[in-house]
Amino acid sequence: MTDLINEVRGLNVLVIHPRDGEIEELLKQISRIGCNVANLWPMPNEVPEGTDVIFLEITEAVAEKTVALLGRETINRPTLIGIIGYENPSVLQGLIDLSVHTVIAKPLRPFGVMSNILMARRVWHVNKSYDGEILKLKAKIENVQKIADAKFILMRHHGVNEKEAYKIIRNQAMSKRTSTIEIAQSIINADGILNSLVGER
C-alpha cells in the first residue's frame, strides 16, 4: 500500500469537465497532492499520451464520443473516476457501462480527493492483474487448441494416432529449436494452403 501511496504523487491526471469554480478547486487539490494535472473541455478526440487518471463527468446516457475516447476495452485504459451531480438510473448505468473505478459526487470538495485517487488506482491495479491472468489463460487455451488441430491434421493425413502425432510435432520442434506451438501453427497453415489449392482445381 505504501508503494501505491507514493505512486499517487507524480501521476498524470486529466480532468474532462467544463472549467468552473468547483473544477478550479479540484485542479488545485490534485496539484497539491503532487500530481501533474490538466483540464480539457470540450471533450478531446483522444486521451493525451501518458495519462494515468481521468476525472470525467457522467450525466445521462453515455455519449458515443465518450465511448470513442475511452475505447470499449478496459485493459489499456487509464484509471477512470466518475464525477456525478445526481443519482438516477441513467447516470448509474453510465457508471456501470464505463466501468469507472470510483466516483466522486458534487459539490466537489478538496477533502477525499487523494483517497479517491488512491482507491481508484488500487482497483485499477487489481483489474489489470486480473486482465493479465485472463489473457494468459486465453493464450493457453488457444495454444492447446492449436496443438489439438495440428494433431488431428497429422492423424488424418498420415494415419497415426494422437500420441504419435504429438511426438511428430515435438520432434520437429526440437530439431528446429522452436516451440511445439510454432510447429503446430505451421502444420495448420500448410493444411490451409493445401485445402485452398485443392478447392481451386
Same-domain check for residues 162 and 84: no
User: Among residues 87, 104, 130, which one ends one of the domains?
Assistant: 130
CATH code at position 9: 3.40.50.2300
Same-domain check for residues 112 and 26: yes
The predicted pLDDT at position 23 comes to 94
The predicted pLDDT at position 184 comes to 94
Please give the average per-residue pLDDT across 154-182, as a whole number. Answer: 93
Same-domain check for residues 52 and 14: yes
Same-domain check for residues 83 and 62: yes
pTM of the shown model: 0.74
Domain region containing 34: 2-130
Q: Give tens-digit pLDDT for 134-163.
A: 889 999 999 999 999 999 999 998 899 999
- In the chain, the number of structural domains is 2
Q: Which residues pair with 40 in a beta bridge?
A: 16
Q: Give tens-digit pLDDT for 68-103.
A: 888 877 778 899 999 999 888 888 888 888 899 999
User: Among residues 130, 151, 178, which one ends one of the domains?
Assistant: 130
Closest CA to 13 of 136, 92, 114, 133: 114
Length of the chain: 201
User: Among residues 83, 112, 130, which one ends one of the domains?
Assistant: 130
